[in-house]
Amino acid sequence: MKLYNTLSRKIEEFIPINSKEISFYACGPTVYDFTHIGHIRAYVVNDIIRRTLPYLGYPVKHVMNITDVGHLSDDADSGEDKMEKGSRKYGKTVWELAQFYTDFFFHTTDTMNILRPHIVSKATDHISEMIELVQKLINKGFAYETKEAVYFDVMQFPSYGKLSNQPLDEKMKAVRDDVYSDPDKKHPADFALWFKRVGRFKDHSMHWESPWGEGFPGWHIECSAMCMKYLGPTIDIHTGGIDHIPVHHENEIAQSEAANSTPFVHFWMHYHHLHVDGQKMSKSLGNFYTIKDIQEKGVSPMGLRLLFLQSHYRQPMNFTWQSVQAADEAYKKLKTEVMKLTVQKEGQVTAMSKEADNFESEFKNAIANDLQTPKAVATLFTVIKAQLQPHEKRKLIQSFDEVLGLSLFTQSEITNKEIPPEVSELAKQRFEAKKERNFVKADELRRQIAEKGYAVKDTNNGYTLEKTS
């Protein structure tokens, strides 16, 4: 497998630290507001990584954080805690807010058929680990205390900036004069490890005792502490959005490597932004969409997932209703064709033809080459049209769907064994009749299907057939 490594700015051969288990850490959500389609694209990418590793023979341990404290609205440590801001906006306590939007996040990812991480770590459950890490950095001379906070001293870490390739003097120029800054900070790029409950944060709702007084952790220290706890000081893969490169991930590297004197991450993987109709997504622009908005427009979650897979994760993507509706139609047609494929009976020859093997290699090469999902999806559609035996198509598509996660084979389809071709054809005709709003014909076809002992049920993904007698 080859992956693009942000640290080296090139595609590299993936060599695991330990072949028995790949360590994979994904930056999780800050749970102060609704999960939107931009977030969904990011977690679909994480899901493809999670699914690809075992598909290619790499067992994986996947860890993701939930940030429910400490993430400020400004990367320069001058903003407001997003949880506090969300609490006022929605009239909930910060604890209620965190639970509500954590639940909404997982509802969204479950709906999108995104596998849950093996370990989900909430920041507020790991305060002791963060305090221990901050103390370690102080003891080693990489951090210092002021009246307001504890900061990481970037001047003590000579390789600071190696991920973003942004020199410290450029970071100094980027600091705005109109934002608040602790007057006792040694360098504008020094970042907070722990905020004290004083000054602007004297009324902060979430606070814990520490060697430096009551307070709460900075955002960056959270990921390092939790990543180290569950995956160790050096991991294989760390993912996040490209907006994390210059600050959050740069800071993670600095504090982690300063604490452990060892490389923190071997492969840094970053996905690009999603825009809507050529603009940044914003509630004020009216283009802020959640999974519920997508479904209310009649688009299935798997149609949206297919749309995301048709764009490479390192490329910016522009969402439009026209594009997602086209993807949804393509998905429904794909699902219809898949439903025609019969389950192989016992005693049938299971050998795959050379052409089928070539398709499998084509798919595997695409996904192993820096997750080229557009090529992988193209191979899937080619297999549907190819002159292969039905059992070959079914086996290939089932294998492909282990990676793509498009839910092409529902449980009912697998357990109902073989659906007669004439029933599948009637169901397809009914589906087309409904699309044309010919409901009289659709009802007649439903009756014919029922007479043959099957029930057709409409779903967000098209329809399913179930045996009734």
Residue 462's pLDDT is what? 64
Cite the DSSP H helix spans in 217-283. Answer: 219-231, 250-260
Residue 6's pLDDT is what? 98
Pull the structure tokens for residue 174. 């980027």
- Neighbour tally for 92: CB within 10 Å: 15
Which DSSP string do the residues of 317-376 spell out, in sequence order? EEE-HHHHHHHHHHHHHHHHHHHHPPPPPTTS--PPPHHHHHHHHHHHHHHHBT--HHHH
Each residue's pLDDT expressed in tens, for the chain with a length of 469 residues: 999 999 999 999 999 999 899 999 999 999 999 999 999 999 999 999 999 999 999 999 999 999 999 999 877 787 889 999 999 999 999 999 999 999 999 999 999 999 999 999 999 999 999 999 999 999 999 999 999 999 999 999 999 999 999 887 766 544 555 567 889 999 999 999 999 999 999 999 999 999 999 999 999 999 999 999 999 999 999 999 999 999 999 999 999 999 999 999 999 999 999 999 999 887 777 889 999 999 999 999 999 999 999 999 999 999 999 999 999 999 999 998 998 886 655 555 568 899 999 999 999 999 999 999 999 999 999 999 999 988 899 999 999 999 999 999 864 333 334 577 788 788 888 887 877 778 788 888 988 888 888 888 776 546 777 776 5
Pull the structure tokens for residue 161. 């900036």
3-state secondary structure of 449: helix
3-state secondary structure of 252: helix
| Inter-axis angle of helices 373-385 and 301-309, nearest 10 | 110
Q: Domains of the chain (ranges plus CATH)?
A: 2-271 (3.40.50.620), 323-467 (1.20.120)
3-state secondary structure of 265: strand
Residue 285's pLDDT is what? 79
| CA pair distance 408, 391, nearest whole angstrom | 15
